[in-house]
Amino acid sequence: MKHRKRLTAAFAAAALLLPLAASGVSAADQIPVGQLVAQTGATAPVAKVYGQGIVDAFTFINQNGGINGKKINLQTVDYGYDPSKAISTYKSWKDSLKPVAIQGWGTADTEALIDLTTKDKVVFMSGSSSGHLTDPTGRSPWTSTPAPFNFFYGPSYSDGCRALVQFAAEEWRSTGTAQRGSTFLGDLNRPKFAYLGDNHPYPNSPKAACTEYARDLGFEIVPPIRYSLSPGDYSAQCQTLKQVGANFAFLANTAESNVQLLKDCAKLGVATQFMTNIYGWDEGAGQQAGDAGNGLIWVVSVARWGDDVPGMKTVREVSQVSDSSGDEKRSVHYIRGVCSAFLMRDAMQTAAEKGGVTGENIKAAFEQMRDHVPAGLEGVCLPTTWTPTDHRGTTTVMLYRNDYNFGTVTQTRVYTTTIPLRPDWLGW
């Protein structure tokens, strides 16, 4: 409860960024940016943390000179993970805030806004890592519309799942079996792969790309299993996993529902090796799941809190914006938000030096980045490269294993790979 109050209070502090004109900062000295946050809704537990990272980062940037002296006027709205509310909020911003850029969240709302932000030339940087957002020109057969003003930090959901499948295939080949904890699964036969997730744009986003790659690597694909983004009783899904004999299973939902599914499966003795995406797990989930989370493999796109890298000093300073004590340990979702905000900062600074901070100039600045790491975040954020024809910022994927032992959670990097920038995987 204390943590939730702290988050709520910190988001309320975002209002300090809003009335800049009342503080003597003229509109000409502001850079208007909208933020869509799902503080409520099915993905709220991870969305709030990601959004807090962005709020704190922009506050910190303003406190340290802003963008060439101009302050970022950030307006944050809780859209409740509802695409229709995201659209109505954007339309109201167009008449009032007139943003040059937006920090967004979900897949459904981000994809629903592509046409509008493209028409208005507003850069949209999302929490969503949907592969559909990586095609700026519309040449991919997998995308229904080009997304020239869309960007996100980190590997796509599709590439994250491909890395997990690649890891699973190598584990199977090297041992002849899959291993979860001390339990050996299967035998030397063809391994079975199951894809689990809700029927929603976010969990559905990498399904076709990931299962196709798993098939290419020799997996037998079992029928997909649906489970809700909102936690419930998943005994039936776990029983199905057991019946089909799935050796590996990808969980496409967020951490809260994944924790419950693992607990239910543990009760039924399901021995499947579970894997999940960047929002499918975090440090808190490892504690909540207990023994049920042992051996889970998940995608991570940033350095973790306390890692001995130069940029962690800046992350700690950003964190103190909403936690003056400096005691709170931030999750990977928070740090991911910080990376997203600082990348936008750098693009805005370049835009300011090349004609002004407009959506078109921010876009052009992003597309000139080559292996770019924001100044101050060395070792924290992965090097990012965007081009006018390819918005896959990085295809480097880090995988961590979650282990729980008598109340202590350890999460260890076990695999790093770079997924090929195949032309036929653009937008997919």
Asked if residue 240 has pLDDT above 90, the reply is yes
Residue 29's pLDDT is what?
85
Overall average pLDDT of the 258-263 stretch: 98
Give the angle 44-50-53 at the CA atoms, nearest 5°: 140
List of residues 6+ apart from 166 with CB closer than 8 A = 213, 217, 417, 419
Q: Could you tell me if 397 and 407 are in contact, meaning their C-beta atoms sit under 8 angstroms apart?
A: no
> Which tokens sit at 267?
């009760």
- Nearest alpha-carbon partner for 187 in 264, 271, 63: 271
Q: Where are the beta strands (DSSP E) in 282-354?
A: 297-300
d(CA 342, CA 353): 17
Q: What is the pTM of this model?
A: 0.93
Asked if residue 390 has pLDDT above 90, the reply is yes
Residue 111's pLDDT is what?
97
Ranges for all domains in the chain classified under CATH 3.40.50.2300? 2-155+308-366, 158-300+396-425
Asked if residue 181 has pLDDT above 70, the reply is no
pLDDT band at 2 (very low <50, low <70, confident <90, very high): very low
The domain defined by 2-155+308-366 carries CATH number 3.40.30.10: no
- Which CATH fold topology does 158-300+396-425 show? Rossmann fold (3.40.50)
Give the angle 356-380-400 at the CA atoms, nearest 5°: 135
Asked if residue 312 has pLDDT above 50, the reply is yes
Tokens 């940087």 belong to 125
Taking phi first (over 0 means left), then psi (-120 to 50 degrees means alpha), and beta for anything else, what does residue 284 get? Answer: alpha
d(CA 90, CA 102): 9
Residue 176's pLDDT is what?
61
User: What is the number of residues in the chain?
Assistant: 428
- Nearest alpha-carbon partner for 126 in 424, 391, 381: 391
**Amino acid code (one letter) for 255:** A
As a whole-number percent, the residues of the chain with pLDDT over 90 amount to 89
Q: What is the CA radius of gyration of the chain?
A: 21
Q: How many CB atoms lie within 10 A of CB 271?
A: 21
- Nearest alpha-carbon partner for 332 in 288, 384, 380: 380
- For 325-379, write each residue's pLDDT tens digit: 999 999 999 999 999 999 999 999 999 999 999 999 999 999 999 999 999 999 9
Overall average pLDDT of the 35-41 stretch: 98
d(CA 322, CA 309): 22
Asked if residue 14 has pLDDT above 90, the reply is no
Q: Where are the beta strands (DSSP E) in 254-314?
A: 273-276, 297-300
Give the Å distances, CA to CA, from 203 to 30, 46, 157, 196, 276: 37, 15, 9, 8, 11
- Nearest alpha-carbon partner for 369 in 358, 381, 379, 380: 381
Average pLDDT, the chain: 92
Q: How many CA atoms lie within 13 A of 379 on its CB side?
A: 12
d(CA 237, CA 215): 22
Q: How far apart are the first and last CA of the chain?
A: 40
Residue 6's pLDDT is what?
45
- Provide the b/e sequence for 240-266 (b: ≥16 CB within 10 Å): bbeebbbbbbbbbbbbbbbbbbbbbbb
